[in-house]
Amino acid sequence: MNAARPPEGIPMNTPLHIAVVGHTNVGKTSLLRTLTRRVNFGEVSDRPGTTRHVEAVDLRTEDAQGHAQVAVRFYDTPGLEDAVTLLAHVAQLPGDSRPARIRAFLEGPEAAGAFEQEAKVLRQMLKADAAFLVIDAREAVLPKYRDEVELLASCARPLMPVLNFVRDGASREADWRAMLSDAGLHAQLRFDAAAPFTGSEQALFQDLGTLLPAHREALRGVAEHLQREAAARRLAACRVLATGLVEGAALHLSVPEAQMQTPVQRAQQLATLRAQMHAHAQRTIDALLALHGFRSGDAAEAPLPALQGLEGLDLFDPDALRQTGVRLGQGAAVGAAVGAAADLGLAGLSLGTGMALGSLIGGTLAQGWGPLGQRLRKRMQGLRELRVEEPVLYLMADWQLRLMLALEQRGHGATTRTDGLPTALPPAAAQALVKALHATRPARSQADWGPDSRPSARRDRCIDAVASQVAIAADEAARQAPAGAAR
């Protein structure tokens, strides 16, 4: 990051200090979690007054040489609770300016008494280079909020209003914009800590640069870093999905013939493989959550569809698999059972659609004689090999891709369930996902390509090929998704 030379007396590479202020329970901590990807920072709750002390958290970037550095140090402050009374008190104090009267208040007994929380906020404001004023746009514009703005402005620090929860149906954004403009705060930013707008993080720092000319280049560097970080996170997520698909394609269960003689025995073995597949899918989901800064099982603070596992998705639903089989067969010369990978001897016991023996042969031959020869060899050894079908893998990939896109648009201030994932991928994205599935086929004959496999150049090439198609699918889906406006 190319930082501009800071004002006289400030060493190069000194982080920018930003206080995050506002009324109680407006989403200050949630904003910082989203900006810094620090899911463990502070406490997010619907209870008022959750933050009681000033807490610092750093936003780290990399310089041109790849060295990590602290670009911005945020200070999460307690919520203002009684600005009306405090503003009237400060107006009576001695001082030839508003900041002087604020300092007089901080030196008086009230700062350690009735206005202890407000004193923490104002003391941090005086130390900061600038402040983000976080506003819950769902609230009515009451006189107390006008007094809060006037009180904070008395510290004579650049103040950037951040309108939170603007996507909520109860948002009163127009009223807030009018009030802030009346107060002389014309630079305003929309940022939803529950569901951030595309590009809103970068816009936050770019707009702050207009208030801090001496730090403009440094803030532009922060915005560019965040953009690169988001792009890298997208690529990493695509590789997580690709790795899960390759390992899912390699997943198999070799069962002795004696344990497949009766319907009950066969059902037990199929249930075992299904359980393994669900557990495998959940591991991919957990990896996606961790990559985006969410915690697996953190349902108390930010419940997501993914935190419910796969309860809402049956990977083996016959109707869904039949429809998926049709989609996979479009433009692919793989026979009636596209990519079917159940053992030839199972006939009507395929894990997905229960296709007939002839269909199974068509799908298996389409994948090459290598996998078929291995299955026949195992059959001669008295073993039956159970695998999942490509339609099963497609359903898993489709769901996980939509989850990935939802996580990209979810902030760490969400404390209620989302409306769900996008209902369907656009055709171009779905076709790219089909190609990703086709690219997993080398894994069908590689039982050792599971999560604990040894490093393999061929396995890595397979994952790379799948990941490139997943990335195309993600780009197509994101391109056609409705985009929110940051400003």
The verdict on residue 200 lying in a domain is: no
* Closest to 395 measured CA to CA, from 326, 467, 468, 321: 321
Phi, psi angles (nearest 5°) of residue 27: 105, 25
Which of residues 145, 164, 193 is at a domain's end?
193
The verdict on residue 267 lying in a domain is: yes
On whether both 31 and 118 belong to a single domain, the answer is yes
Beta pairing partners, 322: none
Strand duo 252-256 + 189-190: pairing: unpaired
Query: Rounded to whole angstroms, how far apart are CA atoms 206 and 460?
Result: 39
The verdict on residue 380 lying in a domain is: yes
Which CATH number belongs to the domain containing residue 180 in this structure? 3.40.50.300
Phi, psi angles (nearest 5°) of residue 77: -115, 160
Give the model's pLDDT for residue 4: 36
On whether both 68 and 143 belong to a single domain, the answer is yes
Phi, psi angles (nearest 5°) of residue 431: -65, -40
Evaluated on CA atoms 198, 201, 204, 205, the torsion sign reads negative
On whether both 171 and 273 belong to a single domain, the answer is no
DSSP secondary structure letter of residue 80: B
The verdict on residue 485 lying in a domain is: no
Structure tokens at 218: 């440094």
Give the model's pLDDT for residue 265: 85
On whether both 122 and 265 belong to a single domain, the answer is no
Which of residues 141, 171, 193 is at a domain's end?
193
Query: Rounded to whole angstroms, how far apart are CA atoms 407 and 453?
Result: 29
CB 361 within 8 A of CB 344: yes
DSSP string across 239-295:
HHHHHHHHHHHH-EEEEEGGGGSSHHHHHHHHHHHHHHHHHHHHHHHHHHHHHTT--
The verdict on residue 208 lying in a domain is: no
Residue written as token pair 């407006």: 26
Give the model's pLDDT for residue 183: 93
On whether both 274 and 163 belong to a single domain, the answer is no
On whether both 123 and 265 belong to a single domain, the answer is no
On whether both 326 and 469 belong to a single domain, the answer is yes
Mean pLDDT in order along the chain per 10 residues (487 residues): 39 79 86 75 47 81 76 90 92 93 94 91 95 94 94 94 88 95 90 67 83 87 85 94 94 82 82 84 85 60 35 52 56 30 30 32 35 48 73 86 83 53 80 94 86 87 97 91 52
On whether both 271 and 171 belong to a single domain, the answer is no
CB 160 within 8 A of CB 189: yes
CB 350 within 8 A of CB 361: no
User: 269 vs 259, 354, 482, CA distance in Å?
Assistant: 8, 15, 44
Give the model's pLDDT for residue 85: 94
Give the model's pLDDT for residue 89: 94
Query: Rounded to whole angstroms, how far apart are CA atoms 444 and 321?
Result: 19
Question: Could you give the strand order of the β-sheet that contains 159-164, starting from the edge strand earlier in sequence?
Answer: 55-62, 68-76, 16-22, 130-136, 159-164, 189-190
Give the model's pLDDT for residue 6: 41
Which of residues 170, 193, 216 is at a domain's end?
193
Give the model's pLDDT for residue 196: 63
On whether both 110 and 250 belong to a single domain, the answer is no
The verdict on residue 9 lying in a domain is: no
The verdict on residue 48 lying in a domain is: yes
Evaluated on CA atoms 242, 243, 248, 254, the torsion sign reads positive
pTM confidence score: 0.73
Counting the structural domains of the chain, the total is 2
On whether both 344 and 397 belong to a single domain, the answer is yes
* Host H or E run for residue 254: strand 252-256
Q: Domain limits at 162?
A: 16-193
On whether both 383 and 442 belong to a single domain, the answer is yes
The verdict on residue 274 lying in a domain is: yes
On whether both 249 and 127 belong to a single domain, the answer is no
